[in-house]
Amino acid sequence: MKSALSKKMIFAALGLPALGLGADITNHLASPQVLSIVPDREQFEAVRPAEEVGSRAFYFTRAIYTGYRRGFYGSWSIDYPKADRQFLIGLRRLTNIDAYELENPIRLDDPDIRRFPFLYALEVGYMSLSEAEVVGLREYLQAGGFLVIDDFWGSYEWSNFESEIGRVLPGYAIVKLPLDHPVLRTFYDITELVQVPNVRQGMMGGPTWERDGYEPALLGIFDEKGRLMVVINWNTDLGDAWEWAENPFYPLKFSNFAYQMGVNLVIYAMSH
């Protein structure tokens, strides 16, 4: 396994300056503390469930992690919170899950994360976990938590994610999930993987791929007993489809697939 620092250096040199994040990276390399753009816990108390945690069967829980700045708070917050809320509307309508209606972001190093066995993280190409987050996520997964990864593209971002998840789950293989895997059968029968593009390309009818992420992939990490812990949606952006599903110009094909996939993942997470 390559060291995390070397990964970040490559990442900074090749990928991020083009995205306007060069200054952040420079700062990060000089002082990793500066780029730990995880919001304070208090900042998110306001959006955490107002009612008592645990009274509902399901909370769409988004991982707040340290990463390079993208979005308002950081890369973890892309599409936040609209995608979460819109997905929950769909989830509640399509299934009978007693799901909390609003978003539920939580830091990886927050012990409370263990009260939410479903976790969604995206833009993991920009993830740069602190040691506490690594431990927090590892223990979350080992205890029985289920992580869904979404919206990261191409080999550079893959490389970063692979490095970070390698820190969390050292020695665990990332394997491709076949099309007959139960995760594609829990609610909807999904027979093909649709590449869901970002909203701009989706509505404009442009290419569905980004960078060198031409083919969508569904991958997973299993624990030593063969239980699926992590599902990785690579080269696809379910979150954008949830976020813009109400837009009449957003193609139904993509939003349909994203919702179907999302529902299947949640049902799988709640039964396996």
Partner 1 sequence: MSSFFESVFEFLFKYRPLVFEKGRLAFTTPWPVFVVFLALALVVLLALISYGRARSGNRRDIVIFSSLRVGALALLLFSLSRPALLVPTVVPQRNFLGILIDDSRSMGISDQDERPRSDFVYQSFGSADSVLYAALAERFMLRFYGFSGRAERIDGVSDLRFAGGRTDLAAALDRARRDLAAVPVAGLVVLTDGADNSDASLTESLLALNANSIPVYAVGLGRERYDRDIEINRVETPRTVLLGSSLVVDLTVRQRGYKGETVQVTVEEGARIIAAQDVRLPADGESAVVRVHFDAEEPGPRIYRFSIAPQPGERVTKNNSQEVLIVVEDRREKILYFEGEPRFELKFIRRAVSDDENLQVVSLQRTAENKFYRLDVDDAEELAGGFPRTREELFRYRGLILGSVEASFFTHDQLRMIEEFVGQRGGGVLFLGGRRSFAEGGYDGTPVAAVMPVVLESPEAIGGRRGRGEEPFFAELKVEPTRFGLNHPATQIGATVEESGRLWAELPRVSSVNPIYEVKPGASTLLSGRAEGSTDEHIVLAYQRYGRGKALALPIQDSWIWQMHADVPLDDMTHETLWRQLLRWLVAYVPDPVVAEAASDLANPGEPVPLTAEVQDETYLKVNNAEVVAHVSGPAGETYDLPMEWALEEDGEYQASVTGDAEGLYEIRVEAHKEGEFLGEHTTYFQATELTTEYFDSEMRSELLKRIADETGGRFYTARTVRSLPEDVSFTESGTTVIEERDLWDMPIILLLVLALIATEWGYRRYRGLV
- Positions in the binding site for partner 1 (CB under 8 A): 52, 54-55, 57-58, 94-98, 111-115, 117, 139, 142-145, 186-187, 225, 227, 266-267, 269-272
Comparison of 188 and 209: residue with beta carbon closer to partner 1: 188
Helix, strand or coil, per DSSP, at residue 156: helix
Residue for token pair 């996939």: 261
Closer residue to partner 1, CB minimum distance, 115 or 200? 115
Q: Could you tell me where the beta strands, DSSP code E, fall in 9-165?
A: 61-64, 104-107, 118-122, 146-150
Taking the complex as a whole, how short is the minimal distance between the CB of residue 78 and partner 1, in angstroms?
26
Beta bridge partners of 119: 147
Measured from the CB of residue 233, what is the shortest distance to partner 1 in angstroms?
20
In the chain, where does DSSP find H-type helix? 4-14, 22-30, 41-45, 82-94, 131-143, 154-168, 199-204, 238-243, 252-269
59 or 80: whose CB is closer to partner 1? 59
What is the distance between the alpha carbons of residues 81 and 67, in angstroms, rounded to a whole number? Answer: 18
**Smallest separation (angstroms) from partner 1 to the CB of 269:** 7
User: How is the beta sheet containing 228-234 ordered, strand by strand?
Assistant: 104-107, 61-64, 118-122, 146-150, 228-234, 217-222, 174-176
Is residue 236 a contact partner of residue 150, using CB atoms and an 8 Å limit?
yes
Q: Give the residue with the Cβ less far from partner 1, 136 or 197.
A: 136
The residue among 161 and 268 lying less far from partner 1, judged by its C-beta, is 268
Distance CA 128, CA 125 (A): 9
Helices (H) then strands (E): counts for the chain: 9, 7
Secondary structure class of 226 (helix, strand, coil)? coil
Q: How far is the CB of 221 from partner 1 (least distance, A)?
A: 16
Q: In the bound complex, what is the minimum distance in angstroms from residue 113's beta carbon to partner 1?
A: 8
Output the smallest distance, CB 178 to partner 1, in A. Answer: 19
Token couple for 175 = 């394997």
Q: Which CB atom, from 55 or from 191, has the smaller least distance to partner 1? A: 55
